[in-house]
Structure 1
Amino acid sequence: MQTERDFEILIADDGSDSRTAAVVERFRNSCDIETHHVWHENDGFRKCEILNRAIEQANSDYLLFTDGDCIPRPDFLAVHLREAEPKRFLSGTYNNLPESFKGLITEANVRSGLAFRINWLRTNGLPFSSKCLRLVRNKTFTSVMNRLTTTRPTWNGCNVSGWKSDIEAVNGYDERMRYGGLDREIGLRMNNLGIRGKQIRFKAICLHVDHPRGYMNDEDLQRNLSIRNDTIRSKLTRTPYGIRRAA
Structure 2
Amino acid sequence: MKCSIIISVYKDTDSLDLILDSLSKQTVVPDEIIISEDGNSAEMAEYVANVKDKYNNLDITHLFQEDIGWRKNIALNRAIIASKYEYLIFIDGDCVPFDDFIENHVKQASKKIVLAGKRVELGEQITKEIRSKKLTVSKLTNNYWLYAIKLIKDKTRHLEDILHISYKSFLAPFVKKEVNYIIGCNWSAFKEDILTINGFDETYYLPSVGEDVDLGWRFRGLGIELKSCRYNANLVHLYHKKRFDSSQGIINNAILKKNFDANKFFCDNGIIKKI
Please report the TM-score for the alignment, with normalisation by the length of structure 1: 0.89
Secondary structure of the 1:207 match is strand
Pick aligned residue for 1:191 from 220, 234, 237:
220
Query: Which residue number in structure 2 is paired with residue 233 of structure 1?
Result: 261
Query: Which residue number in structure 1 is paired with residue 15 of structure 2?
Result: none
Number of equivalenced pairs: 242
* Map 1:196-235 → 2, pairs under 5 A: 196-214=225-243, 216-235=244-263
- 1:246 is aligned to 2:274: yes
1:171-230 Cα distance to aligned partner (Å, 9 max, x none): 11111212011211022111100100001111111001221123x134421121112222
Of stretches 126-135 and 58-67 in structure 1, the one that deviates more from structure 2 is 126-135
Q: How far apart, CA to CA, are the structure 1 residues paired with 2:77 and 2:252?
A: 17
Query: Which residue number in structure 1 is paired with residue 92 of structure 2?
Result: 67
Q: How far apart, CA to CA, are the structure 2 residues paired with 1:119 and 1:110?
A: 15
Query: Which residue number in structure 1 is paired with residue 120 of structure 2?
Result: 95
Call closer, same or farther: CA 1:210–1:141 in 2, change over 3 Å: farther
Pick aligned residue for 1:160 from 167, 170, 187:
187
Query: Which residue number in structure 2 is paired with residue 175 of structure 1?
Result: 202
Output the amino acid matched with 2:109.
A
Q: How far apart, CA to CA, are the structure 2 residues paired with 1:108 and 1:212?
A: 22
CA contact (8 A) 1:118 1:132 kept: no
Q: How far apart, CA to CA, are the structure 2 residues paired with 1:240 and 1:25?
A: 36
Structure with bigger RCO (C-alpha 8 Å, 6+ apart):
1
Secondary structure of the 1:89 match is strand
Query: Which residue number in structure 2 is paired with residue 29 of structure 1?
Result: 53
Query: Once the 2 structures are TM-superposed, how far is the Cα of residue 105 of structure 1 from its aligned partner?
Result: 1.7
Query: Once the 2 structures are TM-superposed, how far is the Cα of residue 78 of structure 1 from its aligned partner?
Result: 0.5
- 1:119 is aligned to 2:140: no
CA contact (8 A) 1:188 1:231 kept: no
Q: How far apart, CA to CA, are the structure 1 residues paired with 2:189 and 2:234?
A: 17
Output the amino acid matched with 1:3.
T
Residue ranges of structure 1 left out of the alignment (5+ in a row): none
Output the amino acid matched with 1:199.
S
Call closer, same or farther: CA 1:130–1:157 in 2, change over 3 Å: closer
Output the amino acid matched with 1:72.
P
Q: How far apart, CA to CA, are the structure 2 residues paired with 1:70 and 1:228?
A: 26
Output the amino acid matched with 2:28.
E
Q: How far apart, CA to CA, are the structure 1 residues paired with 2:40 and 2:237?
A: 20
Q: How far apart, CA to CA, are the structure 2 residues paired with 1:81 and 1:166?
A: 15
Output the amino acid matched with 1:119.
W
Secondary structure of the 2:152 match is coil
Q: How far apart, CA to CA, are the structure 1 residues paired with 2:245 and 2:78?
A: 25
Query: Once the 2 structures are TM-superposed, how far is the Cα of residue 21 of structure 1 from its aligned partner?
Result: 1.2
CA RMSD of aligned residues (A): 2.3
Query: Once the 2 structures are TM-superposed, how far is the Cα of residue 231 of structure 1 from its aligned partner?
Result: 3.1
CA contact (8 A) 1:189 1:231 kept: no
Of stretches 121-130 and 36-45 in structure 1, the one that deviates more from structure 2 is 121-130
CA contact (8 A) 1:97 1:207 kept: yes
CA contact (8 A) 2:37 2:63 kept: yes
Q: How far apart, CA to CA, are the structure 1 residues paired with 2:130 and 2:209?
A: 27
Please report the TM-score for the alignment, with normalisation by the length of structure 2: 0.80
Residue ranges of structure 2 left out of the alignment (5+ in a row): 1-24
Q: How far apart, CA to CA, are the structure 1 residues paired with 2:163 and 2:182?
A: 23
